Amino acid sequence: MLYLWLKALHIVSMVCWFAGLFYLPRLFVYHAQSEDTVSKERFSLMERKLYRGIMGPAMIATLIFGIALIWLNPSLFSQGAWIHAKLTLVVILIGYHHMCGAQVKRFARGENTRSHVFYRWFNEVPVLILLAIVILVVVRPF
């Protein structure tokens, strides 16, 4: 029963984390398009609160619950290469998360050099990773 609770909490944490990963780059799009100081300050505040208040804790919770699941069921590693591929994508996602954090700081300092078009494409990265992770976990293709 503990395993199922941890799995449920892992999924809820992951959903919260991805909500932030989807929304923060969208804020970057709007921030890159803004021209007045009031808007830029508002977007910087929203980005910081989202990154620190929601995304960071959700990422940590996702990782803690995921590690607990593996600790309770280490046989996952012998069930195929899908778990190794999933964990590789999680590492990439953590890197993407930290890239978002670096961008939050750049915007706050007024040092953004990228266009809103860049952020529209940047926003698609977590979608592709989520798609791949869900397929790996549900279908277990290898």
Distance CA(46)–CA(24), nearest Å, equals 9
C-beta of residue 135 within 8 angstroms of C-beta of residue 86:
no
Residue 54 identity:
I
10 is in an annotated binding site: yes
86 is in an annotated binding site: yes
C-beta of residue 77 within 8 angstroms of C-beta of residue 32:
no
Residue ranges at the known binding site for heme: 10, 86
Q: Residue positions in the annotated binding site?
A: 10, 86
